[in-house]
Amino acid sequence: MTKITINQASKYVGKEVTIGSWILNKRSSGKIAFLQLRDGTGFMQAVVVKESVGEELFKVAKGITQETSLYITGVIKEDERSDFGYEMEVTGIEVIHESVDYPITPKAHGTDFLMDHRHLWLRSKRQHAVMKIRNEIIRATYEFFNDNGFTKIDPPILTGSAPEGTSELFATKYFEEDAFLSQSGQLYMEAAAMAHGKVFSFGPTFRAEKSKTRRHLIEFWMIEPEMAFYEHEDSLEVQEQYVSYIVQSVLKNCQLDLKLLGRDTEKLEKVKAPFPRITYTDAIQFLKEQGFDDIEWGDDFGAPHETAIANHYDLPVFILNYPTGIKPFYMQPNPDEEGTVKCADLIAPEGYGEIIGGSERIWDLELIQSRIKEHGLDPAAYSYYTDLRKYGSVPHSGFGLGLERTVAWLSGVEHVRETSPFPRLLNRLYP
């Protein structure tokens, strides 16, 4: 018998095939049983008709339990009533392993229960769709940067220095020395850009933040491009093109997943470069006009502020030129507005918050050395970084896109915990 996967069904209409699968759900009457199959590549209904399969096989089908694994054989038929478009008319069932008392039943469960069973929850339709969208963003990311002349370089995860501030570090021992899990690969990517021109990284990053919001994970994946001879304006163009590319790729290649999630795709279809821009200073003014009197120039934005700004636009919006005091040590001063730096955060629409942080980097040796001192950092730990300003220094810029927040936005899921296969959250290291 020909063994196929569910996503190949369209090529086998009218043929008898076998599919290795699991039972997602089942409905039956005295004469007919409907088995909802899943095999990792998709979901499909299998129909077992008592009159055609006989008493014995029908009994097996009727008694089959949720998440039982099986080889199921039958003829593929077109089925216009389902989104998938195909179903199987069953001729044979070989149970591989019977699943007893599967904990996640079709009834509603609380989030804590589901998170405790994350290893099983991943099998559900909704979680499957979110992971497929995550995978498409990753695929499109590699495609975009490879097609645009970038080289992928992998920065280390065990590091001796802290790019994004010293308070959010996971410390560990490196034999006798102190080490930290990487918060960002940026500083190493700057070194790589001086060797390869345009580079990008994609890897896990760690923040020991005691934040318990729908946007924060302790471990998340970040895409960090870095470009030599790029001023900040050039970097903004890469950012809007990259984000447009991943949004359009997801719309094109994840239609069934978006439909299953009930995602309103009209809003996503509009996401095409260029994106609107507003300066930090104008954003403060805008917020005050909107009645926010809890924020002053020099404060960082909270989620409600970002959402209010984002709601004013249909597209992701760049907030430019934040005050020097609320940004990391490496950002290039902005000559057009005293006390600000050449940076931008990209805020996603619909309340999903900041998905990109980026900036032009200081490339003057004396200035970077004085910033390292002002921030109370150990110059010895950064000597590799200051070396880049000693030997043929050039203007350069880069940014970091948070994968999980981007998945949340495109999938339309409320909380980033559903966008990571095994999320690390405050108070959650299991499973």
CB 354, min distance to Mg ion, A: 6
DSSP per residue over 73-127, as a string? EEEEEE-TTSSS-EEEEEEEEEEEE---S-SS-SS---HHHHHHTHHHHTTSHHH
Site for ligand 4AD in 178-237 (CB under 6 A): 184, 186, 207, 209, 216-217, 220, 222, 224
Among 316, 357, 402, 423, binds Mg ion (CB under 5 A): 357
Among 42, 74, 155, 400, binds ligand 4AD (CB under 6 A): 400
Using alpha carbons, select from 341, 276, 339 the residue that is nearest to residue 309: 276
| Cβ atoms 398, 226 nearer than 8 A | yes
The binder of 155, among ligand 4AD, Mg ion, none, by C-beta within 5 to 8 A per type, is none
Cβ nearer to ligand 4AD, comparing 43 with 399: 399
Among 22, 322, 399, 409, binds ligand 4AD (CB under 6 A): 399
Amino acid at 255: Q
> Quick one: residue 266, left, alpha or beta (phi over 0 = left, psi -120 to 50 = alpha)?
alpha
The binder of 306, among Mg ion, ligand 4AD, none, by C-beta within 5 to 8 A per type, is none
Cβ nearer to ligand 4AD, comparing 67 with 354: 354
User: Kind and range of the H or E element at 431?
Assistant: none
Cβ nearer to ligand 4AD, comparing 228 with 416: 416
Contact region for Mg ion (CB under 5 A) — 192-200, 214-222, 351-359, 366-374? 351-359
User: Kind and range of the H or E element at 159?
Assistant: strand 158-159
Among 9, 44, 227, 356, binds ligand 4AD (CB under 6 A): 356
The binder of 358, among ligand 4AD, Mg ion, none, by C-beta within 5 to 8 A per type, is ligand 4AD
Torsion angle of C-alpha atoms 354, 261, 145, 346, degrees rounded to 10: -10
CB 404, min distance to ligand 4AD, A: 5
DSSP per residue over 325-337, as a string? GGS-TTBPB-TTS
| Cβ atoms 296, 283 nearer than 8 A | no
* Per CB under 6 A, 357 contacts ligand 4AD: yes
Beta bridge partners of 131: none
* Per CB under 6 A, 404 contacts ligand 4AD: yes
Neighbours of 21 (CB within 10 A): 26
CB 349, min distance to ligand 4AD, A: 14
Contact region for Mg ion (CB under 5 A) — 159-167, 208-216, 354-362, 410-418? 354-362
Torsion angle of C-alpha atoms 219, 146, 342, 285, degrees rounded to 10: -70
**DSSP letter, residue 324:** G
The binder of 184, among ligand 4AD, Mg ion, none, by C-beta within 5 to 8 A per type, is ligand 4AD
Site for Mg ion in 28-67 (CB under 5 A): none
Positions touching ligand 4AD (CB under 6 A) are: 163-164, 184, 186, 207, 209, 216-217, 220, 222, 224, 354-358, 398-400, 402, 404-405, 416
